[in-house]
Every structure is written in structure tokens, then in C-alpha cells.
């Protein structure tokens, strides 16, 4: 049952954990001399991408539910594990982050930042930026770097952090463990090549990360909240269009490099070497439909009048609202003007401003109807207007 209070006279779960932590660290000090840990860790990752609805396409990116799960393990019989200092995730470039600040505003540092009370918990931090949440996560940590002291309660919330000065999508991650009553703040940005690096601060109780699972936007994560009738509330990403993906070649490939090493819990300074551990690539088969282009007219700019035989500029704007690239695109003028020209392909979702200078053929003194057609292999957009011929 959830949300039950302990009876009077009993230690609450946090007190029990703190007592257990004290006993464990005391025992470790007695039986284990201080020494560095051998770098025998291995890392594995697993990613998941599922369309919000419908199908995936080879070219057009659609909104998806995305997840990444990572695990750090040690050989059987090894009782200690190196703490995580940095994660470098290599996402398949078919997946992109797409900040929409009008949907999930940037969560400013003044609300959730280094000066915040990071021991306040997930619910409190979400209240600081309730509309900026783009995902959630959970984690397993090992207290005192000991695999015999796992703690399963760490939770994380991911906020939209806008874009970096270079224009790359940026996220802010707040992590909190009720058992240790401690929170940390992390940042990451997704580069065009699919790399995302996140620096991990020193964890409380000199703990090491055993695994984590990120979900964006996610289907909901329950977090403690004393204001709710049952003591819990559900947190999930607020922008279903934040993560988009396509399946360009039938296979998504992801990788990771974890930097592990010991640091001074008080200062964060390195006390030993940093070991970089590569995870084997994770390959996830996918199916992308070929899609179909769909050209639509957006606006036009035609001359009001023109001399017969002249070649004035006719400007049109078209958008490909389909799910495939419009190829072999051609502009054709007909009616009171004659001419044609080839233009570049138009990818799905792209808008193009096009110009054609056809020869005016209408009779002088008349208002000739000029038609401009933008035509690809399987789609057409049409524009027309009357032009006075001089």
C-alpha cells in the first residue's frame, strides 16, 4: 500500500537508512583499508523508440516515446564499483530533440539552479518549473561504492533548458534520493552528431551509479507528495513533440562511453585515475515507410503589370507538408507567360521561396492570367493572378 505513515515509536524509512548507512560505513572502515578500486567495470546500454501514433518514415521525423537504459556491472566476486563521473551517450542521428519554448518554457537557473535547495525533492522542484518538464528517470546507486549496499529510490526529472549558444538542444536534470535526502543537478546538450555528454557530481555517501533509465516524455512517474490524498503525484513530460525520430536505413545504432573514478566527497577533486569504459553498440531494428511528398502553396508575389516580351520576377513560396522529399521539382509558367526551370529538392517539412522569370506573352492592353505551377514527381502546387500587359 502507498502513502502509509509509520506508527508512533518506529523509525521512519529515512532514519532506518541513515542508521544502516552508519553501520555499513563503520564496518567498512574496520574491515577494508583505504585503497583505489580496480577498473573492472563494464557498461551496457539499451535504447527504445516508439511512435506516439502511426508509423515511422524513412525521411520524415515523427514524435516518439524514447528511452535509454544503462547498466554498470563488475565481475562476480568484486564487492566494490567505481563511481560514475561522466556519461557520453551516442544517439543515432535519426533521433532529435526539439525544444518548443512556447509549450515547455525554459526552466531558468533562478528557479532550479545551483543556489536551489537541492534536498527539497522532486515534487518541490517540479513546482518551480511545472510546465518545463520534458521527461523523467530512475536510478540504482550503490552506497559507499559497495555492491552489497544498493539503493533503488533515486528519481530524476528532466527540464527543458532551451538551446546552447551554438543552437543545440539543452536539458537540465534534477536527481533526488529520499533515502539519502540529497539532490544533485546535471546538464546536457545534444550535438548534431548525436553525442550528449552529462557530468555527474559526487554522490552522497560516496555512492556509485549502478544503472539508470530515462524516459522522454514518458508515461508518468510517481513521486512522493504529502499534499496528495495517497501521498503521491504523477510526473511526466509535457511536450509530446520534444523527441522525434525517423528510420532512415532500418537500424538504429547507439553507443556510450562512461568515465569512472574516485573523487574526494568533500571537494569533488580526483583522488585516482579516470577509467573510460565503452559500451558495446546497441542495434535496434526499425521499419520506415517511404512516405509521400505533398506540396502546398503558402504565398505569392506577382508583378501588377509588365511589358510584353519582358521577363519580370514571379515569386512563390511552397511548403512540403508530406512525409517524403519532393524530387525533380520544376516551376512552369503558363497562360499569359511562358517559361520553366528546375529547382532543388524540397525535404519534408521544408519551405522554399522560388523565383521564375518567364517571358510575358499576353496581348498588350489586356489583363492576362498567369499561372505558375510547382510540380514534383507526385505532387503539385498552383498559383495564378491577372497581370496587365503593356
**pLDDT tens digit sequence for 66-90:** 999 999 999 998 999 999 999 999 9
Q: Is residue 257 part of a domain?
A: yes
Q: Within this chain, do residues 219 and 194 fall inside the same structural domain, yes or no?
A: yes
Q: Within this chain, do residues 281 and 305 fall inside the same structural domain, yes or no? A: no
Q: Domain boundary at 242, 271, 289, which? A: 289
Residues 154 and 97 both lie in one domain: yes
Q: How many CB atoms lie within 10 A of CB 269?
A: 8
Give the lowest-confidence range in 105-114, 247-256, 258-267, 278-287: 258-267
Domain termination site, one of 257, 289, 321: 289
| Judgement on whether residues 265 and 302 belong to the same structural domain of the protein | no
Query: What is the average pLDDT across 60-67?
Result: 97
In a domain, 28, yes or no: no
Query: What contacts 343, CB < 8 A, 6 or more positions away?
Result: 329, 330, 331, 352, 354
pLDDT of res. 24:
41
21 belongs to a structural domain = no
Backbone φ/ψ region at 19: left (φ over 0), alpha (ψ -120 to 50), beta: alpha
Set of cell numbers at residue 66: 524514447
Q: Is 269 inside any structural domain?
A: yes
Number of structural domains in the chain: 2
Range of the domain at 308: 295-389
Q: How far from 186 is each of 83, 86, 97, 235, 237, CA to CA, in Å?
A: 16, 10, 17, 19, 17
Same domain, 300 and 283: no
Q: Is the pLDDT of residue 344 over 60?
A: yes
Please report whether residue 231 resides in a domain.
Answer: yes
pLDDT of 30 higher than 70? no
176 shares a domain with 203: yes
Specify whether 305 is located in the same domain as 322: yes
Amino acid 39: pLDDT: 64
Which among 277, 252, 154, 130 has a CA at the least distance from the CA of 205?
A: 154
Please tell me the predicted confidence (pLDDT) of residue 293. 97
Separation of CA 152 from chain center: 24
CA distance linking residue 53 with residue 59, whole number of Å? 17
Same domain, 53 and 194: yes
Residue where one domain finishes, among candidates 289, 322, 348: 289
- Range with lowest mean pLDDT among 31-35, 171-175, 228-232: 31-35
User: Is the domain of 384 the same as that of 254?
Assistant: no
Q: Mean pLDDT over residues 238-251, rounded?
A: 97
DSSP letter (8 states) at residue 178: T
For residue 220, being part of any structural domain is answered with yes
**Co-location of 153 and 243 in the same domain:** yes
Mean pLDDT (whole number) for 274-278: 96
Average pLDDT for the chain: 90
Q: What value, to the nearest 5°, has the Cα angle with vertex 194 and ends 138 and 97?
A: 65
pLDDT for 206: 81
Helix (H) or strand (E) holding 23: helix 13-31
pLDDT digits (tens, 9 = 90+) for 168-222: 999 999 999 999 999 999 999 999 999 999 999 999 888 999 999 999 999 999 9
What average pLDDT does the segment 330-340 reach? 97
- Predicted pLDDT of residue 282: 98
Mean per-residue pLDDT, 113-125: 95
- Clarify whether residues 264 and 341 are in a common domain: no
Percentage of the chain exceeding pLDDT 90: 86
Report which secondary-structure segment, H or E, holds 124: helix 122-128
CA-CA-CA-CA dihedral for 67, 72, 77, 78, to nearest 10 = -160
Residue given cell 500500500 in the structure block = 1
Q: 29: pLDDT confidence band, cut at 50, 70 and 90? A: very low
The whole-number pLDDT of residue 5 equals 36
pLDDT score for 32 = 39
**Is 1 within a domain?**
no
Residue 99 lies in a domain: yes
246 and 314, same domain (yes or no): no
Residue 315: give its domain's CATH number.
Answer: 2.60.40.10
Averaged pLDDT for residues 353-358: 97
Amino acid at each position: 500500500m502507498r502513502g502509509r505513515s509509520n506508527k508512533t515509536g518506529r523509525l521512519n524509512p529515512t532514519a532506518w537508512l541513515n542508521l544502516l548507512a552508519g553501520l555499513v560505513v563503520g564496518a567498512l572502515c574496520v574491515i577494508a583499508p583505504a585503497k583505489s578500486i580496480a577498473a573492472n567495470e563494464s557498461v551496457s546500454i539499451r535504447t527504445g523508440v516508439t511512435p506516439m501514433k502511426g508509423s515511422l518514415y524513412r525521411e520524415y521525423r515523427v514524435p516518439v516515446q524514447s528511452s535509454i537504459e544503462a547498466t554498470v556491472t563488475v565481475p562476480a566476486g568484486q564487492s566494490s564499483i567505481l563511481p560514475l563521473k561522466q556519461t557520453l551517450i551516442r544517439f543515432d542521428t535519426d533521433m532529435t530533440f526539439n525544444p518548443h519554448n512556447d509549450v515547455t518554457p525554459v526552466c531558468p537557473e533562478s528557479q532550479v539552479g545551483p543556489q536551489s535547495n537541492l534536498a527539497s525533492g522532486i515534487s518541490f522542484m517540479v513546482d518551480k518549473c511545472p510546465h518545463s518538464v520534458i521527461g523523467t528517470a530512475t536510478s540504482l546507486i550503490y552506497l559507499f561504492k559497495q555492491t552489497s549496499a544498493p539503493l533503488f529510490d533515486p528519481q530524476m526529472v528532466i527540464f527543458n533548458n532551451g538551446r546552447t549558444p551554438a543552437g543545440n538542444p539543452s536539458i537540465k536534470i534534477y536527481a533526488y534520493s529520499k533515502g539519502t535526502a540529497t539532490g544533485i543537478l546535471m546538464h546536457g546538450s545534444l550535438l548534431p552528431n548525436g553525442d550528449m555528454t552529462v557530468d555527474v557530481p559526487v554522490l552522497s555517501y560516496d555512492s556509485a551509479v549502478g544503472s539508470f533509465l530515462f524516459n522522454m516524455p514518458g508515461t508518468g512517474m510517481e513521486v512522493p507528495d504529502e499534499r496528495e490524498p495517497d501521498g503521491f503525484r504523477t510526473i511526466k513530460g509535457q511536450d509530446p513533440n520534444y523527441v522525434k525520430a525517423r528510420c532512415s536505413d532500418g537500424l538504429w545504432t547507439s553507443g556510450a562511453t562512461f568515465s569512472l573514478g574516485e573523487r574526494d566527497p568533500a571537494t569533488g577533486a580526483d583522488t585516482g585515475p579516470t577509467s573510460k569504459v565503452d559500451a558495446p553498440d546497441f542495434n535496434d531494428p526499425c521499419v520506415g515507410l517511404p512516405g509521400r511528398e505533398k506540396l502546398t502553396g503558402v504565398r505569392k508575389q506577382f508583378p501588377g503589370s509588365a511589358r510584353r516580351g519582358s521577363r519580370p520576377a514571379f515569386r512563390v513560396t511552397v511548403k512540403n507538408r508530406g512525409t517524403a522529399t519532393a524530387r525533380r521539382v520544376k516551376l512552369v509558367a503558363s497562360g499569359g507567360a511562358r517559361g520553366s526551370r528546375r529547382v532543388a529538392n524540397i525535404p519534408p517539412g521544408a519551405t522554399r521561396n522560388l523565383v521564375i522569370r518567364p517571358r510575358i506573352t499576353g496581348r498588350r492592353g489586356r489583363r492576362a492570367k498567369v499561372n505558375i505551377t510547382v510540380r514534383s514527381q507526385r505532387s503539385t502546387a498552383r498559383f495564378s493572378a491577372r497581370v496587365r500587359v503593356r
